[in-house]
Amino acid sequence: QQQVKQSPQSLIVQKGGISIINCAYENTAFDYFPWYQQFPGKGPALLIAIRPDVSEKKEGRFTISFNKSAKQFSLHIMDSQPGDSATYFCAASLPGANNLFFGTGTRLTVIP
Amino acid sequence: NAGVTQTPKFRVLKTGQSMTLLCAQDMNHEYMYWYRQDPGMGLRLIHYSVGEGTTAKGEVPDGYNVSRLKKQNFLLGLESAAPSQTSVYFCASSYSGDYGYTFGSGTRLTVV
């Protein structure tokens, strides 16, 4: 059973556009929601993370929007660039937990 | 500053053979993890360790064993490889269970 459901599976965006990736979860005890970025042949790298006490976190062109009541969170990439082309994973963890539950990933392609 | 180093990067095994994947981190992290990544399934936790001398099962532990004799090293063993274990294996480490993970660059294993 997938603890965190991610969509879409793939996404194609024009350069300069906004990329939006969504994740949903059922366990309301989750309290840490990171996003990871993975380039081909590399391991995932932490991009940005949020805790449920805030509704939005922004770092440069990357923003996490968090909707606690809907049990959803999303990654927005503003002014998308070809260099953003990668696979993005959302994840969640429980308080004091020893592991992250990952979504299935979204392959983003930004075309010039 | 190497971060997390995985060896080997590629390996082809015959069914029934055994092998050990090595993970080394130089960040003095307590927590270490082994994940496998398969298309459409995201990252699934195999085993993890919360400190030297400790190990615990993750989501998909069957067919694998691990050891953490030294804080900086986490070994993943396959005693009798099966084609279903064909995957990309990632090691990760973190300061705590719900903090940012640092991933290695992965080991691509093919079992024929």
Any idea which residue has 């979504």 for tokens? A103
Separation CA A39–CA A10 (nearest Å): 14
With a pLDDT cut of 90, the percent of chain B lying above it is 88
**Which residue is it, tokens 């309290």?**
A31
The reply to whether A95 touches chain B by the CB within 8 Å rule is: yes
HSE (side-chain half, CA atoms, 13 Å) at B85 = 28
Res B2 pLDDT > 90: no
pLDDT (average), residues A46-71: 95
Question: In this predicted structure, what is the pLDDT of residue A16?
Answer: 98
Decide if B101 and A46 are in contact by the 8 Å CB cutoff. yes
Give the C-alpha separation, B98 to B112, whole Å: 36
Chain A residues touching residue B23 (CB < 8 angstroms): none
- The answer to whether residues A97 and B30 touch, using CB atoms and an 8 Å cutoff, is no
B83: helix, strand or coil: helix
Annotated domain spans of chain A: 4-111
Hey, how many other C-beta atoms are within 10 angstroms of the C-beta on B23? 25
**Is the pLDDT reported for residue B98 higher than 70?**
no
CB contact under 8 A, B100 and A46: yes
Residue B1 pLDDT exceeds 80? no
Nearest to B98 by CA among A58, A69, A67, A50: A50
Contact status of A28 with chain B (Cβ, < 8 Å): no
| CA gap A57, A65 in Å, rounded | 7
The architecture of the domain spanning A4-111 is Sandwich (2.60)
For residue A81, the distance in angstroms to the closest alpha carbon of chain B comes to: 23
Q: B39: Cβ–Cβ under 8 A, 6 or more apart, which residues?
A: none
